[in-house]
Each structure stands twice: as structure tokens, then as C-alpha cells.
Amino acid sequence: MNDEQDADREPTQPIDQGTPAEPVPPVEPEPIEPDPFVEPDPTAQWAPPAAGVHRLPATPVAPGTPAVPVGQPTPPSGPEATAILPTDALAPSLMPPVPPGPPPADLSVHRPAPGAAGSGTVWRWPLVALLALVVGLGGGFLGALGYDKIADDTDGPGFVDGGLADVDLEDSAPLAAPDSVAAVAKAVLPSTVQIIAEYDGQEAGATGSGWVMDGNGHIVTNNHVVADAAKDKGPIVVVDNERNRYDATVVGRSPVYDLAILYVKDFEDLVPAKLGYSAKLQVGEPVVAIGSPLSLPSTVTSGIVSYLHRPVTTGSSADDSSFIDAVQTDAAINPGNSGGPLVNQKGEVIGVNSAIATAGGGSVDKEAGNIGVGFAIPVEQVRVTADQILKTGKSQYPVIGAKVKTGGIPTGEGAELDEIIAKSPAQEAGLRKGDLITHVNGSRVVDGIALIVAIRTYQPGQTIEFTVERGSDEQKIEVTLDGETETG
């Protein structure tokens, strides 16, 4: 700006300052007592409390009381101090999120210089609380104004004077997905029964499970559920899902496959189950087990297929030994589940729950409970055995006319033949004692039990191929299976 421009301006007038204000005397900061829990630091420079900060009176602390770190809860004391909180109860991830807003006020704590008089810790919480209260009141006032504005405009479309009382609500629960456990249970429970088999005069001699096989009153269960009652000619009762009781008789039993077929005369109210195919199962596929574990009828558990074609043997004697090409599952199976259905996600029976592994190493133990290793007889075997029993009252199983070693520690190399019976299919095919069978129709065999199970998945009259190691030679030998009829 030049001098000519300055000359053109009007002269300024001084502003009346009024009466000068009286000087304000300085405010002396209140003395603050040193923190008894912190060692004095002679080199530290301490600042006085900020203006407007209120100090709360301190609670007396007994001498010798340990310090509690800032930001951590005070340890419990007194008669209830024995309770221990879980460590994750204080985890930062469980704290509610902080809503967005202005940066927080400085809440740092200033400690007095060593030797200063006074007591207590300096807090800034009251100021923050006051500000929050003011903001809250303001928000409430504005909210009330907004509500009044909205409440005055209730004549537009969509308003209902009676609220929810004047509208149509669908209160029913959503339908279960077609492949859910709930949907499967709803479909299969009407076809599942509890079985009570009396023997030796014991009214509850044996209890198990079963399922309705057809519309003609036939029930499938395990042989070991009804074997003693059948031998003792004791009564057998079938109880359906509605707790209706039916007298049942044994049509036939198969100790070899641990299956039995019962007949109920008054079957009009029984609902047949749908049959599936275990051959279509995959490891990891969901399955559902239904039965009466521990005499608790209509119990539903779920899991997955853990393994397929698991060779399993059950029974305590040669008369009731069973060899099963089992479906292994981790669905909970307990004593009393025996004979009940194992079903897929479509509600189709794919197996008969028959055995459980125990921590002691056995396959079946009446006193043991579920450890997540259960076994079911494939439904394909049920079809074959049930067909034979319905026709003749008896079941057949295939044999080759040889004995195999099953004891000792399995080597996993195959099944060694221990004896060849004269004029048997094994002898006619050229098998010899000491031959090591490693495969049956291309499927690996690891021990004697696996060989028996593999053979019994076929039917009498069928021809199967053995892979045989004899010394250093390996050869293929075909054997036509013979059959034996069970006496059970």
C-alpha cells in the first residue's frame, strides 16, 4: 500500500476502552500428595493439575497394600474371593466398540513432586461426565422435538393405529431344510421302534432298537438283541414312536451277519422306512442314527461317515461271531442303539447300527458308552439276508472251504491260509496251506478278518478272484463260492 492511498483514508478514531478491568490474582495450585506406590524420582519434572480439574478425596489404604496396575480390575477379597474369572472375560476383543466422535480428552494423571503436601489422585472424569451429560440432554431434547414432528404426521400411508395387533403376522417356525437333521428325524422316527426281549424270566432282559422294513409288519433288528429271548422262547415286544406296544415273533435270525427279522401281526399303524444304498456313501457325508440308547426311545444323534468297508468282528463265542463289512460313523451310538437305523440326509436307511468300539479295545461292550467310533451293517447285506429269511426262515453265507489265521498281531501284508479242507472250493481252485491272500477282486486284504469279511460280501455260487503270494511268486486264482445255511 502506497502513501497516496494512505492519505485518502479517513482518520481513525480511538475506541473507548471503558473502565480498565481489575487484575485477577493468580490461583495457587492445590498441593498434591505423593503417590505412596511409586518410588520418588528426583530427576522428574512435575506439572501442577490443569485448571478446572477436580480432585476426589482418596480412600485410605492400609500400609503394605500392594499396588494395582492402572487399567486392571481390583483382585477380589473377602469370603467370596475364591472365584476366578476366565481370562478371556477381560479380553479386549469382547469389549463393545467405541462409537465414533471427537478425540478423547487428555486423561493423563499428574503426580505431585516428591515431598509435596496434600493427598489423593487427580481425576478428570467429572469434567468428562459433565460434558457427556450436557450432550445427552441436548440429544434428548432434539430427539423429543423430532418425535413430536413425526407424531404429528400419522395420517400417511402405512400407519396402523393398533400397531402389531392390527396386522397379520406369521408366527410359525420356519420349515427345516429338506436335508437337515430335523427333517430327517421327522421322516424316520415314525419308522423306528424300541425292542424289549424277555428271557430267563427277566422282563427287561434285553433292550434294543429296530425299524419297520416293509408294509407287511416286518421289523429289522440285530440278532444279538433277540437271540437269548428266541432261544428261551421269551416274549418280544415292539414299541413304536407313539409308545404303542406290539407283540412280535422271530421270523429268522442270522448270527453270521448279526441280523434278525421280526413279525408284528397288527401292523396297520406302522410306517415303513425308505431304503437307500451304502455303496453310494462317501467319507465325510452326514448321517443320522436313531434308536433307544440306554432305554431312551426315539433318540436322535448325528455325525458323519468316518470310514467305509471297515472289517469288524463281534460276538463272544464261535456260535455268535459276526463279521461285518461295516460303515464306520462318529454319530453317537450306545448300548440300546443296536438294530436301529443309520440314515443318510434323504432319510433313507443305509445301515443297521450294530457295534461300538470301546477304550478297552473291544468292539462291543454293554457297559461302555460312545467314544465316537460306531459300526453299522450295510443295507445291501440287510436286503440279501432279509430276502433269504423271508423265503426260508434261514440265512445262507458263502464259504471257500479253508481256514485262515485271525489271531496275533496283524502284519497288514495279507491273510495266511492255515488249512485247506478236502474237496472244497479252495482245494479245487488250487489254493494251498501257507498261501498269502493279498486281494479279493482287486480290493486289498490286510489280515484274516478282512478276508472273511470280503468273502461274505458275496453270495454262494459267485466266482471271485484271489491275488495270492506263494513264496516269491504272485498269481491270480479264481474260486467259486459254496454256501452254508445258518441254524440260528
- Domain spans of the chain? 181-264, 274-392, 396-485
Calpha distance 380→448 (Å, rounded): 23
What amino acid occupies position 336? G
The pLDDT score that the predictor gives to residue 162 is 67
Positions in the chain whose pLDDT score sits under 50: 2-13, 15, 44-98, 104-151, 363-367
Helix (H) or strand (E) holding 313: strand 299-314
Strands (E), 330-431: 341-343, 348-356, 374-378, 396-399, 402-404, 415-420
Question: DSSP string spanning 137-206?
Answer: HHHHHHHHHHHHHHHT---STT--TTGGGGS----SPPPPPTTSHHHHHHHHGGGEEEEEEEETTEEEEE
> 181-264 architecture in CATH?
Beta Barrel (2.40)
Question: DSSP string spanning 76-110?
Answer: P-STTTT----GGGG-GGGSPPPPP-SPPP--PPP
Identify whether the C-beta of residue 424 lies closer than 8 Å to the C-beta of residue 456.
Answer: no
Calpha distance 240→192 (Å, rounded): 7
What would the grid cell of residue 370 be? 460312545
User: Which DSSP state fits 120?
Assistant: S
Q: What is the pLDDT of residues 131-143, one digit of tens each?
A: 344 444 344 444 4
Calpha distance 177→217 (Å, rounded): 31
The pLDDT score that the predictor gives to residue 411 is 73
The pLDDT score that the predictor gives to residue 267 is 86
Environment class of residue 51 by beta-carbon count within 10 Å: exposed (0-12), middle (13-18) or buried (19+)?
exposed
Nearest to 460 by CA among 441, 476, 484: 484
Q: What is the pLDDT of residues 324-342, one digit of tens each?
A: 999 999 999 999 999 999 9
- pTM, 2 dp: 0.64
Contact partners, residue 211, CB within 8 Å, separation at least 6: 188, 191, 192, 193, 219, 220, 221, 273, 290, 339, 340, 341, 349, 352
Identify whether the C-beta of residue 336 lies closer than 8 Å to the C-beta of residue 209.
Answer: yes
Any bridge partners for residue 310, and if so which? 326
CA distance readout (Å), 190 to 33, 46, 112, 195, 341: 80, 81, 80, 14, 12
What would the grid cell of residue 194 be? 424300541
Contact partners, residue 443, CB within 8 Å, separation at least 6: 309, 454
Q: What is the pLDDT of residues 51-76, one digit of tens each?
A: 333 333 444 444 444 444 433 444 44
Rounded to the nearest angstrom, the gap between the alpha carbon of residue 84 and the centroid of all alpha carbons in its chain is 28
- In degrees and rounded to multiples of 5, residue 242 shows phi and psi of -90, 10
The pLDDT score that the predictor gives to residue 302 is 97
Any bridge partners for residue 249, and if so which? 263
Nearest to 355 by CA among 343, 337, 342: 337
Report, as residue numbers or ranges, the catalytic residues. Answer: 224, 258, 338
Contact partners, residue 194, CB within 8 Å, separation at least 6: 207, 208, 209, 210, 238, 239, 291, 292, 295, 297, 298
What would the grid cell of residue 407 be? 489271531
CATH fold for domain 396-485: Pdz3 Domain (2.30.42)
The pLDDT score that the predictor gives to residue 25 is 60
The pLDDT score that the predictor gives to residue 101 is 53
Same fold? 181-264, 396-485: no
CATH fold for domain 274-392: Thrombin, subunit H (2.40.10)
Identify whether the C-beta of residue 281 lies closer than 8 Å to the C-beta of residue 305.
Answer: yes
